[in-house]
Amino acid sequence: MEKNRTLSVLFLKAYGATGLTVCEPLSGTGVRGLRYAVEAGAVGRLILNDISREAVELIKKNLEVNGVNAEVYNEDANVLLHRLRDKCDVVDIDPFGSPAPFLHAGFRALREEGVICVTATDTAVLVGRYPKKCLRRYGAVMFKTPFYIEAGLRNLIGYVARVAASEDYGVEPLFAYWEGHYFRLCARAVRGARDADSNFNYIGYVEYKKPYRKVVRRPGERSLGPLWVGPMGDPILVSKMAEYGPYGDFLQLLSEEYSVAAPWFFKVPEFALGGVSRGIEEALDALKKGGIYAVRTHMAPDGFKTEASAGEVERVLRIVI
């Protein structure tokens, strides 16, 4: 989780606010909150918590060793978050597994405007490898596609946006990515019925019929969703994060991905001819020559994002090399 924590520090730094009340209701060792306080230069009040007594002892020790001040609690995260109603600028939900059980309370702890961050390590559920559990936990119908990782990430964002709406918050994803065993999202949240309503402008379904994809408003036989089909992040904020140094190339790539509106990626082998597929560099080169803007994706080494349709991509990539 080092990368997750470092990127989160960069995110808070780039977000640009100071004196924030930050709550990490599932703190573990407290190292995440501690790093926010020491490295992000954004924290005014730090609230750490864990249900485990041993974890709380460790948090206290770590705070002392590092000379950091924080309020430390030993409660169920949901109880604490309800008690903090309307008090937090940032709530960071970083559990083992799904963040779903803590999301409603997370929004309740936010002020009128704030940031909600979530980590989900139940990636297999979110991408639909366990369809019943996915439906149960996230209310989404998922099945395997070449872009299943992005679909899983958008499933998580869609779920957060629907919970946000039920708590009267609108959300704007600022930073979202996939990394091996987890999905991560940081989103701005603004309270108000109109803001909450606008979440649904970006909730939709993706219809997939090899190799074609399209966004549809209503679910159908071959559709995944509901998913977040809007922007996954803010390219400007993420470019700013990239300037701070660590993970610069990764963040620059994310920034490019965020500027492509299509809520999926393609994989080069989808357009193989007679079983022969081009390499990613060669494919990107061919697309460029064919007048199609495409960028690599962090979600697959042989993947690319483009607003061109599968048909247009196919016409360019199926030309015999």
> Of 1 and 135, which CB lies nearer to ligand SAM in the complex structure?
1
Q: Which of 7, 10, 11, 32 lies at the binding interface for ligand SAM (CB under 6 A)?
A: 32
Tell me how crowded residue 85 is: count the other CB atoms within 10 A of its CB: 12
Which residue in the set 53, 64, 67, 96 belongs to the binding site for ligand SAM (CB under 6 A)? 96
Which three-class secondary structure state does DSSP give residue 107? helix
Strand partners, 295: 305
Going by their DSSP bridges, the two strands 294-297 and 71-73 should be labelled as unpaired
Tell me: does residue 59 bind ligand SAM (CB under 6 A): no
CB-nearer residue toward ligand SAM: 156 or 317: 156
Rounded to a whole number of angstroms, the minimum distance from the CB of residue 310 to ligand SAM is 38
Q: Which of 18, 38, 44, 52 is in the footprint of ligand SAM by CB under 6 A? A: 52
- Please, which residue, 28 or 128, has the CB nearer to ligand SAM? 28
Query: Three-state DSSP class for 157?
Result: helix
- Closest Cα to residue 175, out of 6, 7, 18, 3? 7
CA distance 257 to 175: 11
| Rg for the chain, CA atoms, rounded | 20
51 binds ligand SAM (CB under 6 A): yes
Record the tokens describing residue 125, joined without a space. 């559920």
The C-alpha atoms of residue 170 and residue 200 are separated, in whole angstroms, by: 9
Nearer to ligand SAM, 57 or 285 (CB): 57
Q: Measured in whole angstroms, how far is the alpha carbon of residue 267 from the centre of its chain?
A: 21
Nearest to 90 by CA among 140, 155, 42, 123: 42
Name the one range near ligand SAM by CB under 6 A: 39-47, 88-96, 164-172, 244-252: 88-96
According to the binding rule CB under 6 A, does residue 201 interact with ligand SAM?
Answer: no
Q: Which residue has the tokens 């190339």?
A: 249
The interface region with ligand SAM, picked from 27-35, 153-161, 197-205, 225-233 by CB under 6 A, is 27-35
1 binds ligand SAM (CB under 6 A): yes
Q: How far apart are CA 34 and CA 14, in angstroms?
A: 18
What's the closest the beta carbon of residue 118 comes to ligand SAM, in angstroms?
A: 11
Question: What does the chain come to in residues?
Answer: 321
The answer to whether residue 298 forms part of the interface with ligand SAM (CB under 6 A) is no
The one segment of 23-31, 82-90, 174-182, 210-218 that binds ligand SAM by CB under 6 A: 23-31
- Answer yes or no whether residue 31 interacts with ligand SAM by CB under 6 A: yes
- Reading phi first (left if > 0) and then psi (alpha if -120 to 50, else beta), residue 119 is in beta
How big is the site for ligand SAM, counted in residues (CB under 6 A)?
Answer: 20
Binding of residue 29 to ligand SAM (CB under 6 A): yes
50 touches ligand SAM by CB under 6 A: yes
Structure tokens that stand for 114 in this block: 């704030």
Binding residue for ligand SAM, selected from 11, 22, 23, 28, defined by CB under 6 A = 28
Check residue 77 for interaction with ligand SAM (CB under 6 A).
Answer: yes
Helix axes 235-243, 2-15, angle to 10 degrees: 110
Quick check: 21 and 45 in contact, CB under 8 A? yes
**Nearest distance from residue 44's CB to ligand SAM, in Å?**
20
Contact window for ligand SAM (CB under 6 A) among 24-32, 155-163, 169-177, 297-305: 24-32
Residues at the interface with ligand SAM (CB under 6 A): 1, 5, 24-29, 31-32, 49-52, 55, 76-77, 94-96
